[in-house]
Structure 1
C-alpha cells in the first residue's frame, strides 16, 4: 500500500493537466471563432460601404453627364437662335420680306410664324422709339412742320406692319388670324387678326376734343362706314365657316371607310375644303386694308397736332393692354 500511493497521485496530476490543456484549447478555439466572425462581419460591412460608394460615384457621374448634355443643348439652341437672327437681318437687308419696289415675296425663309413674330418684335421696338420722339416733340411744342414729319413716319410704319402681315399670311394664315403674336389681353379684342377700326374711332372721339363740327361729322361717317365694312367681313367669315363645316361633314368619314369610291370621295372633299381655306388669306388682307384706310382717313380729317395726339392715344391704349397681360400672368397664384 505504501508503494501504490505515489502512483495514484501522479495519475491524478496527469488527468488534471490534460483537462487544463483541453480547456485552454477550447477557449482558444472559441476566441479564434469569435475573431473570425468579427472579421467576417467587418468584411461584409466594408463590402456594403464600397458598393454604396461605387453607386454614389456612378450616380454623380451620370448627373455630370446629364448636366453637360443640358448645357450643350442650351448652347446649341443659343447658336441656332443667333443664326436665325442673322438670317432675318440679311433678309431685311435683301428685301425678302418687303422688296424696295413694294412687291412682296410669296415665301418666307424657315418657319413663317416664328419669322413674323421676330419681325413684329422689331417693328414694336421701332414704334416705341418713334412714339417717344413724337411725345417729346408734342411736349416741347414743336412746329407743325416738325410734327408732320414724325406723324408721317409713324403712318408709314403702320403701313409696313400691314405689308408684313400680308406676307406672313401666305406662310401661315392661321397664325395671323389667331393673333398668337399678340398678348392675351390684346387677343380678347381681336377681330380678324387685328383691332376693330370702328371701336378705335369710338375711343379716339372722346380723346381729341375740341373738334369742329366738320371734323365730328367726318369721324362719325368714318366710324359708320368702318362698322358696315366690318359687319360685311364678319358675315363673310361666318358664311365661310358654315360652308367649310358642311363640306367636312358631308361624304364618307375617312379614306378607309371602304372601297376606292370612298377614297376618291374623301380626296375630293378635302380638296374642296382646301380651296375654301384659301379665301381666309383674302379676308385677312381686306381687314388689314380697312384698318390702314381708317388710319389714313382719320389723319386727313384731323390737324397735324390732333393726328399726333391720336397716334399717342392709340399707342398708349395698346401699351396698357400689353401691360395688363404682363400683370395678369405675373399675379400670385394660389
Structure 2
C-alpha cells in the first residue's frame, strides 16, 4: 500500500466499530487468513469496512493508519487487564477490581502513551529506512561512497533517537522501561536490561557480511571480547541490585508496581524506591554499550558492508516484531475459541 496519503476527515465512533467488525470478519475467514500479502488483506478489510459503514469511502492507507491507532489502544487495555488479573489480591469484589483496573490504566497510560506514540512512528520510519537500505544494497556496487555514508549516518541517528527517547522515559518511570507494554510477549522474552543483548549483533554481522578482511576479523574479534566483558559487568551489577535489598524476586516487584492501595504494600513501595537509582544507572550503561558497540562495528566495516549489516539488523527487528504480534494474536484466538467468543480486534497481521 502507499506509504503516504493525504489526511482525511475525522473518524466517527460508528466508523471505528465498522472497522473492528471488518477486521474480525476478514481474519475469521479461513479462505482469507493471515498468510497473505498485506495489500490484499487490507484491501479486503477496507471492502468489508465499507459494507458495514454508511460513511463516504476511505482510502486503504487511511483505514490502515486508523487501525494502528485502535490497535495501540486495545493493546494498552489488554496489557493493563492482564496486569490486574495477575496483581489483584484474592477475595476482592468486582467493583474493587474495576477501581484497581482504572488506577492501573491511569498509571500506565499517563506515562507510556507518549512513548508508545513515538515508538509507533519510529517503527514506521524503520520500515522506510529498510526500504532505503534494500534499495542501496541492490545497487551497492554502483553507488557512491558518500551516498552510502549519508544513509548509514541517518540510520544510526534513527537508532540513537530511539535510545534518547527511552532514556527520557526511564527518568520518569524506569520500571515501565523494564516491563514494556508496547512489546509483544515474544519480544519481551528476548530482552536483556530492557533491550536486545549487544552481543547479538555479532551473529547478525557474521551472517550478513561474507567478505571480511583479515584485519577486520581481528578488530571484530577484539570488539566482541570487549563487549562480553561489559555484558558480564552489567549482569553482575543487576544481580547485586537484586541481592542488595530484602525484596521479593525482581519480576514480582515489577508486577506489583503501581499497587499502593493497601497498607500491606507500603513495604514494597519502599523497596521499589530503593531500586530506582541503581536500575536507572544500569540501564544507562546498557544503552551506552549498545550504541557505542554498533558505532565501533560500523567503523570497522566498509560502507558497502555496513549497508548489508544495517539491512540485516532492521530485517531481524521487524521480523521479530511481526512474529511476536502473530503469536499474541494466535493465543488470543485460541482463548476466544475456548470461551466460545468471536475473533479479537486486538493485534495486527502486518509486518510490524
The alpha-carbon deviation at position 325 of structure 1 amounts to 1.5
| In the alignment, structure 1 residue 207 sits paired with structure 2 residue 217 | no
In structure 1, C-alpha distance between the alignment counterparts of 2:219 and 2:153, rounded to whole Å: 20
In structure 2, C-alpha distance between the alignment counterparts of 1:273 and 1:173, rounded to whole Å: 10
1:117 is aligned to 116
In structure 1, C-alpha distance between the alignment counterparts of 2:208 and 2:139, rounded to whole Å: 20
2:125 is aligned to 126
In structure 2, C-alpha distance between the alignment counterparts of 1:323 and 1:247, rounded to whole Å: 34
In structure 2, C-alpha distance between the alignment counterparts of 1:322 and 1:256, rounded to whole Å: 40
In structure 2, C-alpha distance between the alignment counterparts of 1:158 and 1:180, rounded to whole Å: 20
1:188 is aligned to 189
1:152 is aligned to 153
Show CA shifts across 1:114-150 (max 9, x none).
Answer: 2111111111111211221121122133222211111
Task: Judge which range, 111-120 or 308-317, deviates more.
Answer: 111-120
In structure 1, C-alpha distance between the alignment counterparts of 2:196 and 2:169, rounded to whole Å: 17
Structure 1 residues 164 and 139, CA, compared in 2 at 3 Å: closer, same or farther? same
In structure 2, C-alpha distance between the alignment counterparts of 1:272 and 1:186, rounded to whole Å: 27
The alpha-carbon deviation at position 227 of structure 1 amounts to 1.2
1:5 is aligned to none
The alpha-carbon deviation at position 330 of structure 1 amounts to 3.6
Task: Judge which range, 206-215 or 300-309, deviates more.
Answer: 206-215
In structure 1, C-alpha distance between the alignment counterparts of 2:263 and 2:196, rounded to whole Å: 43
| In the alignment, structure 1 residue 243 sits paired with structure 2 residue 272 | no
In structure 2, C-alpha distance between the alignment counterparts of 1:134 and 1:180, rounded to whole Å: 29
In structure 2, C-alpha distance between the alignment counterparts of 1:204 and 1:217, rounded to whole Å: 14
The alpha-carbon deviation at position 272 of structure 1 amounts to 6.9
The alpha-carbon deviation at position 244 of structure 1 amounts to 2.1
The alpha-carbon deviation at position 202 of structure 1 amounts to 2.2
Larger radius of gyration between Structure 1 and Structure 2: 1
The alpha-carbon deviation at position 207 of structure 1 amounts to 2.1
1:326 is aligned to 325
- Name the structure with the higher helix share: 1
The alpha-carbon deviation at position 271 of structure 1 amounts to 5.1
In structure 2, C-alpha distance between the alignment counterparts of 1:293 and 1:272, rounded to whole Å: 32
In structure 2, C-alpha distance between the alignment counterparts of 1:172 and 1:256, rounded to whole Å: 23
The alignment yields a C-alpha RMSD, in angstroms, of: 3.4
Q: Which has the higher contact order (CA 8 A, sep 6+)?
A: 2
Show CA shifts across 1:240-285 (max 9, x none).
Answer: 011123599xxxxxx989xxxxxxxx88x96576233221111111
In structure 2, C-alpha distance between the alignment counterparts of 1:205 and 1:329, rounded to whole Å: 30
